[in-house]
Structure 1
Amino acid sequence: MEGKKTVRAAERALDILLCFTRQPTLSLTEISHMTELNKSTVYRLLATCEEKGFLIRDPDTDKYRLGFRVWELSANLSRTDDMAVLFLQEMERLRDQIDETVSLYVRDGFERVRVQAVESLQAIRRVAPIGSRMPLAVGASSKVLAAFATPSDQAMILGDPTWPESVDRVSYLTQLQEIKKHGYATSSEEREAGTSAIAVPVMNPNQEVVAALAVSGPVGRLTMERMNEVAAPALEAADRMGKMLKK
């Protein structure tokens, strides 16, 4: 019983830290609402996280932000296994080649997460915050991750209990088949007004999809014709990325 209590406490503390993927600063009340925990429990866990250096409380605003311990942990991420670090140079190279924002996404359950982004240098550009989570039902990157997933993973994705009613599963599955046939996916204002995107799969040496490499920008500039032109350099970049990975 004591072991279960310890695990539950750890889960709650981690849930609190994960709240900061959505906002940089949060109050006790906001964290309590986001985690659905009572304030007394949140207060105790915040005090522990603060004591260990994972959170810092601003005495003027009484809000919390991530502490230096988090940065110490991130500094020790493997430079050979972390795709966000490993692929950065190739992403910058692709950005410089096509002058649009380049993002890297991985699948986490029923969502995709942006783990790296290199923004275009143009005045009007797609701003891509790292850490953003998006559903797998819409968007070029979502469809690439689903199209090249295993049949069992595809079945899991299509069985998502939160699947939007506006997206027909049969039509979606047909799209996935076309995407796998052509090797890339495109979208125009599917998830965000005024934005279009093209995405290609990054495959490891075992030919398993590990990420989606996406190029996004304003619909007026990143037209369907332009996206078809971008497909070749994006696929070449993804191929080079895949070759960097270990078997």
Structure 2
Amino acid sequence: MDEGKTTVRSVERALDLLLCFTIRPSWAMTELAQQVGLHKSTVHRMLATLEEKGFIERDPVTDRYQLGLMVWELSANLAATNDQSTMWQKEMERLRDQLGETVSIYVRSGVERIRIQSVQSNEPVRRVAPVGARFPLYAGASSKILIAYAMPEEQQEIWQHPTWQLRDQLTMDKYQSELCEVLEQGYAVSFEERESGVAAVSVPIFDREGLIIAALAVSGPSGRLTQERMREYAPIMQSAAKRMSMMTR
């Protein structure tokens, strides 16, 4: 009986660690130990197990922890049983049918963004968007959204990361000016920033507290997804993102 209680307690402690990442996306081990009220050696062992199973990732440079890809792989299987996930998928399909381009959802993981959901365009020439793909945060419309709407301390953490870099011929002042423009207009665009021949427009999805949880993006060939067309698509996407945000409340 005591052994059973110990096993359950271990599970509770592991879940307590995972739940810390609902507060903020990145933690040092000592911060986690203080947050859950456990000894550092205990937290270290649990983190090692969670990392081995893919639920947690450790940045070897900063020695900080963030959610692993397994969390997003699990969430992808919620569609059949979870109304919110199903409705998000329906909104994405509706947006794809309305705009004709590939629709994706990205979340931030450290200094990268991960595509956690996508609906492919039906056009013969289209942007293929595999779920689970990772991209650096220094380029792309979704990256600008995820950084522009992040908390100031999270922005500093990104910019101070050793692997952070700016796009070619872009100064930090110019980059921050781009982020201010994103906040003013409520959307971001990219035109062949990360990949030649590809353009994208992105808007934020918020949680019940008004904090960003994901970026909704529409991407396609730059010859079809022009700057003018992306500006036309932005209000349509903002309406879709607003409905998706309401599903989290």
Q: Answer whether TM exceeds 0.5 for this pair.
A: yes
2:122 is the counterpart of 1:121: yes
TM-score, length basis structure 2: 0.69
2:248 is the counterpart of 1:245: yes
Residue 13 (structure 1) aligns with: 52
2:228 is the counterpart of 1:189: no
Kindly, what percent of the aligned residue pairs are identical? 43
What is the CA distance between 1:78 and its match in structure 2?
A: 6.5
2:239 is the counterpart of 1:236: yes
Deviations 1:185-238 (A, max 9, x none): 000110111100000011223221111000000000000011011111101100
Question: Which secondary structure state, in structure 2, belongs to the residue aligned with residue 114 of structure 1?
Answer: strand
Q: Structure 2, unaligned stretches of length 5 or more?
A: 1-39, 57-72
Q: Distance in 2 between matches of 1:224 and 1:188?
A: 8
2:235 is the counterpart of 1:224: no
Q: Distance in 2 between matches of 1:159 and 1:211?
A: 22
Residue 141 (structure 2) aligns with: 140
Q: Distance in 2 between matches of 1:143 and 1:245?
A: 22
Is the radius of gyration larger for structure 1 or structure 2? Answer: 1
Q: Distance in 2 between matches of 1:123 and 1:204?
A: 35
Whether contact under 8 Å (1:105, 1:211) holds in the other structure is yes
Amino acid paired to 1:126: R
Q: Distance in 1 between matches of 2:148 and 2:185?
A: 11
Q: How many residue pairs get matched?
A: 194
Q: Distance in 2 between matches of 1:205 and 1:7?
A: 30
Q: Distance in 1 between matches of 2:49 and 2:80?
A: 21
Question: Which secondary structure state, in structure 2, belongs to the residue aligned with residue 87 of structure 1?
Answer: helix
Residue 151 (structure 2) aligns with: 150
Question: Which secondary structure state, in structure 2, belongs to the residue aligned with residue 160 of structure 1?
Answer: coil
Amino acid paired to 1:123: P
Counterpart mapping for 1:87-106 below 5 A: 87-106=88-107
Amino acid paired to 1:241: M
RMSD value, Cα = 3.0
Counterpart mapping for 1:3-42 below 5 A: 7=46, 10=49, 13-14=52-53
